[in-house]
A and B are shown apart, each in its own frame.
Chain A
Amino acid sequence: MGLFLQVLLDGLWSGLLYGLIAAGLSLIWGVLDIINFAHGEFLMAGMYVSFFLGFLFKIDPLVSWVASAAFLFLLGVVTYKFVVKRTLGKAMAPLLATFGLSMVIKNFAMNRFTPNFRILSGTIMEGKVISLGQGAVMIPVPNLVTALFSLVVLGLLYWMLTRTRFGWAVQATAMDVEAARLMGVNTERIFILVFGIGGACVGVAAGLLPSYLATHPDVGSLFGLIAFMVVAMGGFGSIPGALLAAILIGLIESFAGFYIAPVFKYVAVFGVYLLVIMIRPKGLFGW
């Protein structure tokens, strides 16, 4: 039973982390109808911010996530203004532009910071584990804290989208840009803020991750891929959908990895994703 619970919790922590990373992507996808291919690289850039704040100024990730989120908010705004806006409405152009941006960010990191793996040591949460049932179940504190952040951020995002005037404007823009504009919604401002908020969400995850994961130029690649999957599976633009899909993916990964074979875990994840998309192309909670 202890082992089952451990595998379940491991899946839950992974799932909630994926949910936090995917939330911003879901928002951008849902509102602007474009895929930000640089999402994984946004994560990587935020991790470098947190790592260097910790390494150079001894600021703990528990604090530096604020800086990561702010940095990625700005990066999101700049990306919209200078990359996405110029290509919007031109078929595949935004997709290819963000793909190009991902290459620029990754190679910039490679060039400036070298491909070295950077591990932040001496953080408040480092190595802290809550042991339950005389060690039968171990709860790593960094993963638990990231999971709690995920729930809070997703909750806030959901509240903002459904309970505030700004959120209604975002939903209206997502449904019909022209109609929203005619109703007096400043859609341009919505686009800018959505890109910024999307960046800030992944920035929260990026700020916390260096407390248990090495930072390097390639770190965002697989996270980015999983985030696309979470969004497509959960439904474009749906925050509850993204959360549910992320948890589902985390659990499938954990259970398939432990009970079938570790090497099978991503096969199972991508397999289930394919199945869901084939049966329900809009995703579980698609708008």
Chain B
Amino acid sequence: MQRKLMLVVMAVLLVLGAGAQEKIIKIGTLFPLTGPVATAGQRCTAAVETIVDIINGVYPNLDLPIAKKAGLLDGYKIVLVKADHQGKPDVAKSEAERLYEQEKVFAIIGCYNSAATKPASAVAERLQKIFMCGASSSAALTEREFKYFFRLAPTDRIESYEFVEWFQELNKSRNANIRTAAVIYENTEFGKHAADEAKAASAKAGIKIIADVPFTPGATNLNSEIQKLKAANADALFGAVLGADYSLMVRTMKQANWKPKIAINYCSGYQDPNIAQQLGQDGWYFMGSAGYTPEFGMRFMKAVAPVEEYFKKKVNVPFDSNSIQEAVAMYVLALAIEKAGSLDTEKVAEVLRTTTFDSPLSMGGKVQFEIPGGQNIKAQSVISQIQNGKYITVYPYEYKDGDAIFPMPGW
């Protein structure tokens, strides 16, 4: 009798257990957790984790709809399956296949490096699965007209035109006389595309590119690269330089005793608050695009600060322009699942294609994907400059925290 009772209890537990197991949504994260840009990848993963914590729990102090109840739909919890592509496109492709086909994830969020996002999102498209891209900025990604690819960040093209518009504004208001430019970029998908966009935007504005300097990421030195730039001595410098290469670039520029009038950077080491802090005064007066800075957030994105506190507990730094885009990617995907009321990929993708989402974590407050392509057409960025160790928004003027220091003071 006792044995029968035990069997019944076990059967009930199994059924309940199976039922509980079904109430999960697996989401894959695919970032460079090792390799030269691992810091950025780990922060992006932590940003997604932060939003997942908020979705799965109850956070009445946060001004986000997903924070008010635990889970999505009728109690589904999100479980992250984390993967590492090491910054390598081939690994990104095989990991995307593993996540979709073996781990059975509902969607992937990634991959930071445009070069990795490209093959990983092609896997998603082939399998007709959703791919949410937070920070990869190569414009080519959304020109493929994929149906299941959605990118949050502004593209290099948008940023390039903003940079050149800023040069022209400086020419007009500060008599800057910016007529020539040089480009330094890592020889990767991201770097090459950024450089191409910089050249195209400059050409349209009549700014002549007089030095084109690609380099191998993770180089032991950047001496000849900086000597090339110094010899050309352009008025402006576009930089697409990630991670430790950025600090090496700045220090080598100092060693060569060269600075242009203005140095402006794409999504890069410039945006890493740790690098900016550690470079100290050497890193001051450089400029770059920013989708978020804590200073900007305090004024224009007030919903971010309390979320950022949870993020800081994981990585000890505030959001940067890249990590916050990955957080928004998870946030928007959660909103889409809620709105679709189902875990049917087609239904959720359709919601993503047709809805304008309120996003308090985004600059501008809205997210809307352009179809075809999947580019977030509400994506905005500002231009900031590091002054006294802080990221100060200098352009567009309606968002500015302070005036730009121009030209860059010498070393």
Contacts and interface: CB of A to CB of B under 8 A. Distances in A.
Interface string B316-348: 000000000000000000000000000000000
Query: Considering residues B224, B225, B228, B255, which has the most beta carbons from chain A within 10 angstroms of its beta carbon?
Result: B224
A222 B255 contact: no
Given A115-B39, A262-B224, A262-B228, A131 B243 contact: no
B247 A117 contact: yes
Given A131-B257, A214-B248, A219-B244, A258 B39 contact: no
A115 B214 contact: no
A253 B257 contact: no
Contacts of B278: 117-119, 121, 214
A157 interface: no
Contact of A221 (B42, B218, B248, B279): B218
Contacts of A262: 213-215, 224-225, 228
B224 to A, nearest CB: 3
Contacts of A127: 254-255, 282, 411
Query: Considering residues A10, A213, A257, which has the most beta carbons from chain B within 10 angstroms of its beta carbon?
Result: A257
B187 interface: yes
Query: Considering residues B36, B223, B231, B254, which has the most beta carbons from chain A within 10 angstroms of its beta carbon?
Result: B223
A254 B247 CA distance: 20
B215 A263 contact: yes
Interface in A117-147: 117-119, 121-122, 127, 129, 131, 135, 138, 140, 143
Contacts of B272: 117
Interface residues of A, number: 45
Contacts of A117: 39, 243-244, 247, 272, 274-275, 278
B247 A3 contact: no
A12 to B, nearest CB: 11
B216 interface: yes
B312 interface: no
B223 A216 contact: no
Given A135-B257, A140-B255, A222-B218, A116 B247 contact: no
Contacts of B228: 257-258, 262
B187 A263 contact: yes
Contact of A129 (B221, B257, B274, B282): B257
A140 B257 CA distance: 10
Interface in B183-216: 187, 213-216
Decide if the interface of chain B is mainly helix, strand, loop or mixed: helix
Interface in B351-396: none
Contact of A217 (B38, B231, B248): B38
B35 interface: yes
A212 interface: yes
Contacts of A122: 280
Interface string A1-14: 00100110010011
A218 interface: yes
B248 A114 contact: no
A50 B221 CA distance: 20
A55 B154 CA distance: 37
Contacts of A99: none
Contact of B218 (A140, A143, A218, A257): A218
A263 B216 contact: yes
B35 to A, nearest CB: 6
A226 B243 CA distance: 21
B220 interface: yes
A216 B244 contact: yes
Nearest to A266: B216
Nearest to B33: A115
Interface in B209-264: 213-216, 218-221, 223-225, 227-228, 231, 243-244, 247-248, 251, 254-257
B248 A110 contact: no
A173 B250 CA distance: 47
B17 to A, nearest CB: 33
Nearest to B86: A218
A121 B227 contact: no
Nearest to B42: A115
Nearest 6 pairs of A and B residues by beta carbon: A257-B224, A115-B38, A119-B278, A10-B223, A140-B255, A258-B224
Interface of B: 33-36, 38-39, 41-42, 187, 213-216, 218-221, 223-225, 227-228, 231, 243-244, 247-248, 251, 254-257, 272, 274-275, 278-280, 282, 411
14 contacts: A3-B231, A10-B223, A13-B223, A18-B220, A115-B35, A115-B38, A117-B243, A129-B257, A226-B220, A253-B224, A254-B223, A257-B224, A257-B225, A266-B219
